[in-house]
Amino acid sequence: MKVNQAKDYLNTLVIRKLCEDPKRGFYEFFRLAWHTVEKAPLTTNWHIEYLCYILQKEVERIAAGGKRDKDLIINIPPRSTKSMITTVMLNAWAWTKYPHLKFITISYSATLAEKHSIKTKNIIESKWYQKHWGHVFRYSRKKNTNKEYWTDKGGMRFASSVGGTVTGDGADIVVGDDLLNPMESESKKQRESAVIFYRDTLTSRLNDPSIGLFCLINQRTHVEDVTGIELNDNPEFYKYICIPAESSYPIVPDLLRKFYTDGLFDPVRFPAEELRKIEKKMTNYSGQYGQQPSKPGGNIIKGDWFFRWDMENLVYLAARSQERIIWNFVIDGAYTKNSENSATVCLCYTLFNGKYWIKDLYRDWVTITEFVPELKIFLERNGYSYESMIRVEPKASGLDIIDMLTEAGYNAMQSLAPKDKILSAHGIAPTLKTGRAGVRKGVGWAKEYFEELESFPNGSHDDQLDVTVIMIRNDSEGGDILASG
C-alpha cells in the first residue's frame, strides 16, 4: 500500500472512530458533515454539542431496545441550526450505525419538509459520506423519492407536513420541526390544526410506543402552540429543554445557564446589539427568542410604545419647520346604544414629521341621529378645516354618516376597513413599537384607550383599536395629511 493510500485509509478510520464515539459521535459527525450541504463555514456554539449529545443517547437507546422514559420538547431561537441538527443530520448519522431505523419528519409546510429531506439525501449521497459509510447500506428499490426513501436494511425516511398524508409504515423516531408557521400563529384555526395533527395523527406512528421517540423542536410562537398545549396538559410525558437567546428568560434545565456568556446563549451569532435590533422590530420577541410568549392580551400592542406630547411643543415644531398642521379624523360608527356592543368612536390626529400625533378621541354608545350633532361639535373643537379629511369605516352606520357629513359640507370618505383584526394589529405594531405614535398629555380618555389596545384580542371591545388601525393603514397607503405652509 502506498504512503498516500495508507494515510487516506488511516484518516478514514479516524473519522469513523470519531463519529462512533459513545458521547460525542453525533456531534463530530455534525461538525465534519457540515460542508456536504452548506457552503458557509460552521459557527459552533455549546448548544450544538449539547443537543447532539441528548439526541445521540436517544438513538443509542432505541437501537438497543431500551424503554423510553420521556419524549423531547426543545425550544430554541430561530437560526440556531435546530433543523440541521434534528431534521437533517440526525437521520444521516443514525444510519451510519443503525440503517434499519425509521424516521418520520414533519414541518408546517410540505415544501420545508421536502427541503430538509433533500438535504439529508445530499449528505448520504456525498463523496465524503459514501467514502466512510457507503458499505453500511444502499438505497432500497422499494421507494426512493425526495420525500420518502428506504435503505436495503429496512430503514426509512418519510417527510410530510401538518395536515398532509403520513406513511402507513411506523417509525422509530418522529421529529416535529416547527409544526406551526410563525406567520400563522395568531390564527386559532392553524394552532388547533397543529395540535390535532400531532395528537391524532403523529402519536399513533411509533413502531413501538414504549421505545420510539417523539421530538418536538421549535421556537415559541404562541402560548397555545403545540409546545404550550402539551406542557400544560401533559408535562409529565416530556423532557423539556428551553434555550432562550438571553439568560434573563427562564432556562431549562437551569444548569445550562453556566454556558451563557454575558447573558447571551450565542454571543457570536446573536450579540446583544443585534438582539436589540430584532427586539425593536418584532412583536413576539419574547416568544421566538425568549421562548416565553405573552399570554393573549397585551402581547401585540403596548401602551408604553406611545410618546406623550403637548400642544405648545407641537405648535413650536410646526412653526420651526414652516409646515401647517392639518387635523384629520377617523370614525368607526355603530347603530346601537347597547354598551355590550362596540361604541361609536372618532379619533382626531395629524401626521407630522413622520409621526402620528393623536389629539382627541370621542367614544360613546349612541344612535346615529345622536352622534352626528355631537360629532360636528367634536370636529369644530379640534380644528377641522377645509383641508381636513374625515375617514369613516364603511360598516354599520358608516355609509349613513358619510352621507350626512357630505350633505353638511364636510370632507368625508370611506376608509380602508380592517379585514382581519389580529393581522391588522400585528401590521401596525412595528409602527407603534418604533415610537411613531403619540397621545396628547393630560387627556382623560388615554387610560381607557391604552387598556383596550393592550387587552386585544381578549378585551371586551376593539373599536378604539379599529380607528388606530385605520389611521395608520390609510395614511401609509397615500392619505393626504399635512399641507405645506
What pLDDT, in 10s, does the model give residues 382-431? 999 999 999 998 876 788 899 999 999 999 998 876 667 877 888 888 88
Tell which wins on pLDDT, 338 or 237.
237
Tell which wins on pLDDT, 482 or 326.
326
- Tell which CATH classification among 2.60.120.10, 3.30.420.240, 1.10.10.10, 3.40.1280.10 matches the domain 303-484: 3.30.420.240
pLDDT value at position 6? 66
Tell which wins on pLDDT, 284 or 374.
374
**How far is 484 from 466, CA to CA, in rounded Å?**
29
Domain ranges of the chain: 3-288, 303-484
pLDDT value at position 393? 87
Among 426, 464, 459, which residue's Cα sits nearest to residue 443? 464
**26-45 mean pLDDT:** 96
**How far is 303 from 328, CA to CA, in rounded Å?**
22
Looking at residue 451, its amino acid is: E
Identify the weakest region by mean pLDDT among 5-14, 174-183, 435-444: 5-14
The edge-to-edge listing of strands for the beta sheet with 437-440 is 307-309, 437-440, 355-364, 344-352, 328-332, 390-392, 412-414
Identify the weakest region by mean pLDDT among 114-118, 158-162, 295-299, 463-467: 295-299
- On the question of pLDDT at 5 being above 80, the answer is no
Q: Which of 45-54, 278-287, 296-305 has the highest mean pLDDT?
A: 45-54
**108-136 mean pLDDT:** 96
| DSSP state, residue 81 | S
**How far is 109 from 286, CA to CA, in rounded Å?**
24
pLDDT value at position 299? 61
Cis peptide before 457 (omega within 30 of 0): yes
pLDDT value at position 399? 87
- On the question of pLDDT at 101 being above 50, the answer is yes
- On the question of pLDDT at 298 being above 80, the answer is no
pLDDT value at position 454? 85
Question: CB–CB of 331/391 below 8 Å?
Answer: yes
**281-292 mean pLDDT:** 87
**How far is 206 from 280, CA to CA, in rounded Å?**
42
Residues with Cβ within 8 Å of 239's Cβ and at least 6 positions away in sequence, in order, are 69, 70, 71, 72, 73
**78-96 mean pLDDT:** 97
pLDDT value at position 3? 57
**How far is 106 from 83, CA to CA, in rounded Å?**
11
**How far is 21 from 252, CA to CA, in rounded Å?**
26
| Other Cβ atoms within 10 Å of 66 Cβ, number | 13
Among 360, 366, 362, 358, which residue's Cα sits nearest to residue 396? 366
Superfamily of domain 3-288: P-loop containing nucleotide triphosphate hydrolases (3.40.50.300)
- On the question of pLDDT at 49 being above 50, the answer is yes
Quick check: do 3-288 and 303-484 share a fold?
A: no
Among 84, 83, 29, 27, which residue's Cα sits nearest to residue 50? 27
**148-176 mean pLDDT:** 93
pLDDT value at position 302? 87
**How far is 47 from 203, CA to CA, in rounded Å?**
27
User: Confidence band (pLDDT; 50, 70, 90) for 168?
Assistant: confident
pLDDT value at position 294? 67
User: Confidence band (pLDDT; 50, 70, 90) for 282?
Assistant: confident
User: Which residues face 438 on adjacent strands?
Assistant: 307, 357
User: Confidence band (pLDDT; 50, 70, 90) for 340?
Assistant: low
Question: CB–CB of 73/216 below 8 Å?
Answer: yes
155 Ramachandran zone, left/alpha/beta (phi>0; psi -120 to 50): beta
- On the question of pLDDT at 478 being above 60, the answer is no
**How far is 391 from 414, CA to CA, in rounded Å?**
6
User: Confidence band (pLDDT; 50, 70, 90) for 338?
Assistant: low
Q: What is the mean pLDDT of the chain?
A: 90
User: Confidence band (pLDDT; 50, 70, 90) for 481?
Assistant: very low
Q: Grid coordinates 391588522 are at which residue?
A: 424
Q: Which three cell numbers stand for residue 27?
A: 456531534
Looking at residue 450, its amino acid is: F
Q: Grid coordinates 399570554 are at which residue?
A: 295
**462-481 mean pLDDT:** 73
| CA distances (Å), origin 380, targets 15, 201, 318, 327 | 81, 62, 21, 10
The edge-to-edge listing of strands for the beta sheet with 213-218 is 139-144, 148-151, 156-161, 102-107, 173-177, 213-218, 71-75, 238-242
Rg (CA), the chain: 29
